[in-house]
Amino acid sequence: MDWARREEFASEMSKKPRKEEMERDRRIRRAKMWEKHGIGQPAWEEEVPDGVAKADAEALSHVKTHGELPRFYIDRVFICRDCGSEELWTAEQQKWWYEEAKAHIDAVAVRCRDCRKKAKEKG
């Protein structure tokens, strides 16, 4: 690899995480705004905006609730219980959590990824 190529490669490598970080910050800011002001009346029968995922009622059939099932998942922000860092819980992650992992509908994310890993290792 020549030097020019190598530098290009190095800058690509360092650019990517920063871009992801910015995207995450952007989603956190938006989620906070939604939490504060409400997201408005959802009228997303066909297409949902970025940061929102449609719920699949059939995949939620394990949920026993007297309340209504969610129709949408919306990006949320939470504070990690262990380290206090501000974390984004994306709509896609929520969908996976409830529909694939079949979590209880009241169960929400409380720890960041690092602390979840640490808690798991501790047993």
Residue of 39, 80, 103, 105 that binds Zn ion (CB under 5 A): 80
Q: Which is nearer to Zn ion, 80 or 103 (CB)?
A: 80
What are the tokens at 46?
Answer: 């066909």
31 binds Zn ion (CB under 5 A): no
To Zn ion, the closest distance from the beta carbon of 110 in angstroms equals: 9
Check residue 86 for interaction with Zn ion (CB under 5 A): no
Interface with Zn ion (CB under 5 A): 80, 82-83, 112, 115
